[in-house]
């Protein structure tokens, strides 16, 4: 199960991994916390379309359906309201009733219910910084941490189904300095213009996360990109994220990367499989 804040997050974080596991016969479910209804139209080709702007929630649901089909995953909405990304100085308050302002225990209840229904062995989500500090991403982290423990506790959320304890919890860690530097140098060595030069200059002294698990999934990079492009309001197909050719990505950095933060099974680090330690003897 991959727990994400908005439709499109599942296609930009761990999508190739999910597509690989689907191809291998695993059941994969994306849990989407909000409908993305406060998201802006980021694709220049669609900006200013009054019909899209007036029906952004419905449009994003259809985009999610298309991406889900491309990846081959199942998908469920938790039903919370997008908080939007506050901008300005000082930052404006978040909208009343939005996902990020909910009590964490209350917001975790539908995720606990979903975990107990789907019965995943492995869960992925964001770290405590949300991957980047969007309030919905941070809240997604919080409710996933609560739900991972509560789902297996018969005394927690007694009306939310029969207890089920997931075995491993990972944070998505797709944006590391090592990966960005490798892609940057890979482009330069091939005489291609890298999109990452200014990004690396701004990187500063940001702490690096502990990458414990690198999942080989280069054969599914094209599937990942098609799923991301399906979120047409959010993604410019000619934009930044597609400037490194897939052939370069496959050669330079053929994995998607994760940080193992909870494990109830024995596993040796580093890993190359989210199911390391789970596969032996486990039956649904």
Rounded distance between C-alpha atoms, residue 251 and residue 16, angstroms? 15
Q: How far apart (Å, rounded) are the C-alpha atoms in residues 54 and 268?
A: 51
The order of strands in the sheet holding 168-172 is 74-80, 29-34, 2-4, 122-125, 168-172, 255-263, 213-216
CB atoms within 10 A of CB 228: 21
* DSSP single-letter state for residue 271: B
Binding residues: 6, 9, 137
CA–CA separation, 139 and 190 (whole Å) = 41
3-state class (DSSP) for residue 216: strand
Which residues, at least 6 apart from 151, have a Cβ–Cβ distance to it below 8 Å? 112, 115, 116, 163, 164, 165, 166
For residue 248, count other CB atoms closer than 10 A to its CB: 18
Known binding residues for Zn(2+) are: 6, 9, 137
**How many Cβ atoms from other residues are within 10 Å of residue 259's Cβ?**
17
């Amino acid at each position: 199960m991959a727990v994400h804040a908005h439709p499109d997050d599942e296609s930009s974080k761990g999508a190739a991994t999910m597509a690989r596991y689907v191809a291998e016969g695993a059941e994969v479910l994306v849990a989407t916390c909000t409908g993305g209804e406060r998201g802006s139209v980021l694709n220049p080709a669609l900006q200013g379309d009054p019909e899209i702007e007036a029906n952004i929630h419905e449009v994003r649901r259809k985009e999610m359906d298309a991406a889900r089909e491309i990846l081959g995953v199942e998908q469920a909405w938790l039903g919370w309201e997008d908080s939007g990304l506050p901008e300005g100085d000082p930052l404006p308050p978040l909208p009343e009733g939005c996902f990020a302002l909910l009590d964490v225990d209350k917001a975790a209840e539908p995720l606990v219910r979903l975990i107990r229904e789907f019965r995943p062995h492995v869960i992925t989500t964001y770290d405590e910084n949300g991957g980047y500090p969007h309030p919905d991403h941070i809240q997604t982290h919080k409710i996933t941490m609560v739900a991972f423990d509560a789902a297996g506790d018969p005394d927690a959320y007694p009306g939310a189904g029969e207890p089920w304890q997931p075995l491993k919890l990972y944070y998505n860690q797709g944006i590391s300095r090592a990966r960005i530097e490798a892609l940057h140098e890979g482009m330069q060595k091939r005489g291609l213009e890298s999109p990452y030069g200014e990004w690396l200059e701004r990187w500063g002294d940001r702490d690096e996360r502990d990458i414990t698990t690198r999942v080989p999934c280069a054969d599914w990079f094209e599937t990942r990109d098609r799923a991301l492009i399906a979120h047409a309001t959010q993604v410019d197909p000619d934009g930044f994220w597609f400037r490194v050719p897939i052939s370069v990505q496959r050669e330079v950095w053929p994995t998607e990367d994760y940080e193992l933060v909870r494990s109830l099974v024995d596993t040796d680090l580093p890993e190359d499989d989210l199911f390391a330690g789970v596969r032996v003897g486990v039956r649904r």
